[in-house]
Structure 1
Amino acid sequence: MRTLIHEAEGALNGLGIQNPKQWGEAELKVWDLAERGRRVVSVSLLLLCLITVCTGALLTALVEHHWDMAMEMWLPSYAFFLLTVCYVQLDLIAIRRGRSPAYAQWAAVSTLVACQTQADESQATSVTTAQLSRNVERLSDALITYAQFGVSRKPGPRAALLTQCAGMSQRLESAFEASLRDRSQVRVLAKHIVHLIDALGRQEPLNMVSSAESAPAESVPAEGPLPWRMVMAHLLAFLTGVGLIAGFKALGLSAEYLLLLAPLIYLVVQIPYLATGRIPTALRHLPRLAAPMPEPASESEVRTSDSDASADVPRQLVPVPQRHD
């Protein structure tokens, strides 16, 4: 954490911005310890899952009764792997909520380091731009999490904090968009982050932005629910596929017939996604032909086209060949 603070101080010195009065080292140490503990537990569990799955697959391949061994060894080990991944994700959510002040402080300091890289002409690339974008998004997410779980669970303080954090998030996003037009505006983004760190360090979270800049209550993003329907859809699709294969094996069909029935298996596996209302992205947005975008017309042309009855006739969605003179 001291290294991260030194990098942030060097970034502010390079941008010509005064350092915050206090960096919140205690909060940063809390986040560092929590993150290290989570990584150790996650890596240990995932390695155990990898060994279990590989052992189950190896035993399934070596014995004669492949299907019986797969049902007894490989499928339980694979289910253990899925449950472990689910636990790791829930543990990450719990740490971010339980250590939300430290999470917000760490996200702010990390974004300052990314600002210095983006402001430097010799280092700014498309990779650094994408990295700064991810840092700003993570900082906005950390602020919303801090407003919901960092101070109080009562409706009054939470509502006030949400409007302040949403206003600060909008200010950060506006500054980042301005830096995409003029890279020198990264300095403005860094100033906003320094003001944010000062407000969190003084324990004055309602002083992030002025009352005029705070977001209205109706526009504050609510906490996103956990995608339980998507989890259930994946689980049901997995069980459906296993049931189909078991049924085909019970009918005495060999593996060659399974390849011929692959389209049927694919369509049947999509049923759980349709039933839960969670259609995969590849099926939700089908490719289609579209006419080229028209040029923007003046207000008089728009009014004339609106009053014309022929405007209601749909266009043919066919590609228009380009003319080469």
Structure 2
Amino acid sequence: MKAILLKGKGGADSLFLGDYALPAARPGSVLIQIKAFGINHAEIYMRRGDWGDTTDIIGIECVGIVAEDLSGTFRKGQQVAAMVGGMARNINGSYAEYVAVPVSHVIPFESSLPWNELAAIPESYATAWAMLRWCLEAKTGETLVIRGGTSTVGMAAIVLARHLGLTVIATTRSAAKQGLLKELGADGVVIDDGEISGEVRRLFVEGVDKVLELVGTSTLADSLACIRPMGALAMAGFLGGLAPMENFHPIFQLPNGIRLTALASAFAFGQKGFEFAKIPLQQIITDIENKRIPNILRMTFPVSQIREAHRLVEAGEANGKVVMEW
């Protein structure tokens, strides 16, 4: 098969299209013929070596058709989506024509959407849904700040939160991207200069009900200051860097009564209580297909242009999901 491989760790030029052995179908896994896959910041970190050792083939999500399933769970030719489940860490990932993924990390669906549109959905929408429903237990009528609104998970969260009936305030570091966030459904946009709690408290004097923190530890304390008593914050990203917080004392710095939680989708999905199959991916796809909610796809590249796609995502210039198509 053809696969996108790495010439060591480094810049986008380290990616190249080459030949690789076809993965074998094995018990407990599904062999998928990949039609398209999304580009994620996780793969930028993997390519650069920021996340340590990876397998020969990176990539954490894909859509395609079942080539073989020894368990009989899925039929040959069935449309499926897959994400993580050890891809790029314990097993080869999705930057290839075929991948063998654990059964527990595969969701079937039916759709007439083209493959590139489908490929923009799994990781971003699944993570956003899990953060809103599992971690934050978001409810209609609540107020929500999405810190890091122009990330793909942030964009998907705006869409799903508004569809759920929340009032959404999204943040961005770029004033030029305010219109994009409002088009997706954000009720308001706050320009993030590192401190947003003052502006959020001006808009909501008692604080907001929930915060989805996608920037990370560098803004966590300020995000906590946005929340009303008995509210909640969930972390799901580190767009601001991987460095841990220094001298963080929860008993003194965590506001009284506020719940702090997190979700590392690459490790959590598939674990007990976080089963991938419980995420209503079919409903999300159907809602996008019927234009009840928008997709966040921005650009589609042929796999031969993987370097250009990586540079675009790494520079933060995509303004939506970038997809590669075989």
Give TM-score, length-normalised by structure 1. Answer: 0.24
Larger Rg: 1
Give TM-score, length-normalised by structure 2. Answer: 0.24
Structure having greater relative contact order (Cα 8 Å, sep ≥ 6): 2
Q: Would you tell me which structure has more strand in proportion to its own residues?
A: 2
